[in-house]
Chains A and B, each alone.
Chain A
């Protein structure tokens, strides 16, 4: 009763959007599609919400085939597209009432489901949706997608363009919804949000790199990662790139994540190499890999 895709492919004219994608989302699971812009996340969402027909492969949502039973799917899923897609000239309350009505229900009937979220935007219920802040808009959109008590919820990049505090709140809401038995498929370009999902699929250029729990994906990371810091970030990266034992280097916040080709290596050796290059305030510490490291490694 969750979501199932097998060997799904879809091209737009000559561009291959997704290729041979298969994965399953278990009922009640919070599943994340993690990947950069243009990876094919939105295409997968549109196929699953019956908006696009796949060129190849089959997919089902809540037990219904996405092509044959598209009407049944449209009755039982909630969909929040990547772009804010509510009526900007309607007030918060009018938007919600409208979506409740077209799904044949009322706000009162399913109020318990949206209550946690709606109380936060209720003070603005007479404000036009177009005049809400980014975080508020997303909360309203989520309410509208939930108002008919969907079995499966599709959220395409719900936190893009939303401030960090609202993002955190949003994920807390998703966790609460999951407890109510709703299967959730969510996509995000933010790697830090991936850790909040039960399982994730890392996706790039229309292909799935890895599917597993966030912990497992991180644990599979083959190398030790070192947090390297110095006074000049740009020079540090350039210098590291010239290091003959370098395996990979990526900027990460105020540090860079460095991995070495060799299985065991002495940090002192690297430190003196960097010092010779004229860098100061050098720090090198082993650290835990995260999803982003795993993604970078897999995407290589």
Chain B
């Protein structure tokens, strides 16, 4: 046990004396969570739009007022001719143009229908979609208020309610994803680098020719990172609660326990990487390419898994991050307990055991 503690002490010296790894450990989580929380957002807020009003009557004015009153849109300019639409878009500030037809009110009364053309700048398809949806919703809302009291045959009124994130804050979606990436990266990359560093510097040779058992070396490498990753997870959760007002609906204890499980899964992956990689450089490349990319692309963090091509959906099953994201989203946003996430938890436990088993099998007690 004394040997073991001596080993862990040495690991902490390494970590605290290497500014670069310290920065990755503690700077990156904070930077990422703030970046994703503040800068990167797909919410619609104060989008600049332009109006081309051919009729300029009471109804169009009412609709325009309603749109500009919402916090989603700002009327940036009024356009006089169709030809100016293109110029307005090209300047880049305007994301959408509302084109009211001629005699809008008159048509509405006479023929019971009138048309508005919504033109959006689809260079960013997601935003264009959201803008269209938001404008549609405002128009629908206006129409319903107008129809009040009038009996209309066959009318379907959808009543939508967004649960778990009623304000559609994108930070709610990013926090679980960022937490997953950071835990995975810190745990897997840092352990694989620290083990391969011993190989590269030749100190592994001395460690092998010592009474330390292989599992003692590995556990000794892993323990400091479990400790640091737990601190990281706590920092992320605290940041998201206090800065982004993200609720933790479920049990904090369960969240902590599941995080520790995922940290161990990642560490096991890190050990596995270090049994393959011979240099720190290749350990880092494998961690970045082999872990970071799939976590971002295939874990459902940013891109919904259900809309992926079938083969990619299958691949996403073997990505531990996918299951962890489901788990923490469940706990943080839906407030679910173990009864709802036992399956995902079991999968993570299974993966961890598999990775540990594989790395123990692949761990070399000699140089070849």
Contact = CB atoms under 8 A, between A and B. Distances in A.
A51 interface: yes
A77 B209 CA distance: 8
Interface in B1-34: 2-3, 5-7, 9-10, 13-14, 17-18
A53 B210 contact: no
Interface string B194-226: 000000011101111111100000000000000
B368 interface: yes
A52 B210 contact: no
B368 A98 contact: no
A69 to B, nearest CB: 13
Given A51-B366, A98-B10, A102-B211, A85 B206 contact: yes
A70 B203 CA distance: 18
Contacts of B212: 102
B254 to A, nearest CB: 38
Interface in B325-368: 365-368
Contact of B202 (A74, A75, A83, A144): A83
Nearest to A91: B13
Nearest to B212: A102
Nearest to A128: B17
Contact of B366 (A53, A83, A90, A144): A53
A79 B206 contact: yes
B9 to A, nearest CB: 8
22 contacts: A51-B208, A51-B209, A51-B366, A52-B366, A52-B368, A53-B366, A74-B210, A74-B211, A75-B211, A86-B206, A87-B13, A88-B201, A89-B17, A89-B18, A98-B6, A98-B7, A98-B9, A102-B6, A102-B210, A103-B3, A103-B210, A104-B211
A52 B368 CA distance: 7
Nearest to B201: A85
Interface residues of B, number: 26
A90 B209 CA distance: 20
Contact of A101 (B3, B17, B205, B207): B3
Main secondary structure of the interface of B (DSSP, over half): helix
A81 B202 contact: yes
A50 interface: yes
B10 A51 contact: no
A46 B202 CA distance: 13
A227 interface: no
A90 to B, nearest CB: 6
A97 interface: yes
Interface residues of A, number: 30
A63 to B, nearest CB: 17
Contacts of B18: 89
Contacts of B5: 101
A198 interface: no
Contacts of A75: 211
A101 B212 CA distance: 10
Given A75-B211, A77-B209, A89 B6 contact: no
Interface in A52-91: 52-53, 70-71, 74-75, 77, 79, 81, 83-90
Interface of A: 46, 49-53, 70-71, 74-75, 77, 79, 81, 83-90, 94, 97-99, 101-104, 144
B367 A102 contact: no
B193 to A, nearest CB: 14
Contacts of A94: 10, 13
A122 B13 CA distance: 20
A186 B3 CA distance: 28
Contacts of B367: 46, 51-52
A260 to B, nearest CB: 47
Contacts of A144: 206
Contacts of B13: 87, 89-90, 94
A102 B17 contact: no
Nearest to A75: B211
Nearest to B17: A89
A94 B16 CA distance: 14
Contacts of A53: 366, 368
Contacts of B7: 98, 101-102
The 5 closest A-B pairs by CB, nearest first: A101-B6, A85-B202, A51-B367, A79-B209, A83-B202
Contacts of B205: 51, 79, 81, 85
A94 B13 CA distance: 9
- Of B17, B208, B210, most A-chain CB atoms within 10 Å: B210
